[in-house]
Structure 1
Amino acid sequence: MNITVLAVGTKMPRWVDEAVHEYAKRFGRDINYALKEIKPEKRGTGINAAQGMAAEEKRIVEAIPDGAFLVILDERGKAPTSMELAEYMRVWQQNGEHVCFVIGGADGMTDTLKQKARLMMRLSSLTLPHGMVRVLLTEQLYRAVSILHNHPYHRE
């Protein structure tokens, strides 16, 4: 199964990159995981939030793998449990889906981009720093895979 995470933002703190790498390497051969950074649009000097999100949308859409099952992370999305996420993963894997998760920029994402999603999901009702979202998403995806493999990482 292929999983791509598109994350607006570059130059994360080292601990973010290390944590994402740690969880990503745990997937094993079953999951091909890739995190791709999307350059954020600079704000100010005549560029407002809407213009910035539109520019970021263009970069995001260009980076979405062809035919991918698009999951947008959004504060108004569905908040699955770890078990529900594992079930999503089981179905995606069974259907041979290439799943693409999108983490938007500081101002969020355009409605146009959100409408392209096959699933809108939230990790928390709290506002989280972008680096933390990368780590949390990768850990939860690993957790979902461990649930599917009856690995003792997840405890109920």
Structure 2
Amino acid sequence: MKITILSVGKLKEKYLVDGVKEYSKRLGPYAKLEILEVPDEPCPENAPRAVEDQVRQKEADKLAKRLREGTYLIVLDPRGKMLSSEEMAARMEKSALSGHSDITFIIGGSLGLADSLRERAHLLLSLSNMTFPHQLVRLLLVEQIYRWFKIIRNEPYHK
């Protein structure tokens, strides 16, 4: 299975970089993982909504250019569906069995995502009702993907 994480912004904090590397390494036997970053757009503090919308759209355009034809698109969004790890593992397994072995996850920037990108998604997924920094979400997502594969294969999750 090929999994791509498309994200706005570069990871800066060492602990996040190290965590993503660790779970990426653990994912090796289960899937080919690719993490792609697009630069975030500058946005002034207290910008009007119209300016924020423009920033979101510019970031969405950059993300859309990196999407592969035919990929199964999962967009992380606070308004998305919340699923347990077991439910998401079942969806991943079903996706692979039905021929969708190329999956792309999108993580937006600090302002979120433009509607144009959300509308293209096969699944809008929320990791929690809580709000997390978008850079931390990348680590959470990589860990969850690893967990989903462990669940699919009925393997114990090693802490």
CA RMSD of aligned residues (A): 1.7
Report the counterpart of residue 74 of structure 2 in structure 1.
71
Whether 1:114 and 2:118 are equivalent positions in the alignment is yes
Equivalent in 123, 137, 143 of residue 147 of structure 2: 143
Q: Which whole-Å CA distance do the structure 1 matches of 2:139 and 2:70 have between them?
A: 25
Report the counterpart of residue 130 of structure 2 in structure 1.
126
Report the counterpart of residue 5 of structure 1 in structure 2.
5
Report 1:1-150 matches (<5 A): 1-44=1-44, 48-97=51-100, 98-150=102-154
Q: Which whole-Å CA distance do the structure 1 matches of 2:28 and 2:53 have between them?
A: 40
Q: Which runs of 5+ in 2 are unaligned?
A: none
Deviations 1:44-68 (A, max 9, x none): 3998211111110110000112211
> Following TM superposition, by how much is the alpha carbon of 1:29 offset from its aligned partner in structure 2, in angstroms?
3.3
In 1, are the aligned partners of 2:11 and 2:135 still within 8 Å (CA)? no
Task: Report the 3-state secondary structure (helix = DSSP H, G, I; strand = E; otherwise coil) of the residue aligned with 2:16.
Answer: helix
Task: Report the 3-state secondary structure (helix = DSSP H, G, I; strand = E; otherwise coil) of the residue aligned with 2:3.
Answer: strand
TM-score by length of 1: 0.92
Task: Report the 3-state secondary structure (helix = DSSP H, G, I; strand = E; otherwise coil) of the residue aligned with 1:26.
Answer: helix
> Following TM superposition, by how much is the alpha carbon of 1:95 offset from its aligned partner in structure 2, in angstroms?
2.6
Q: Percent of aligned positions with the same letter in both sequences?
A: 36
TM-score by length of 2: 0.91
Q: Which runs of 4+ in 1 moved over 6 A?
A: none
> Following TM superposition, by how much is the alpha carbon of 1:14 offset from its aligned partner in structure 2, in angstroms?
1.2
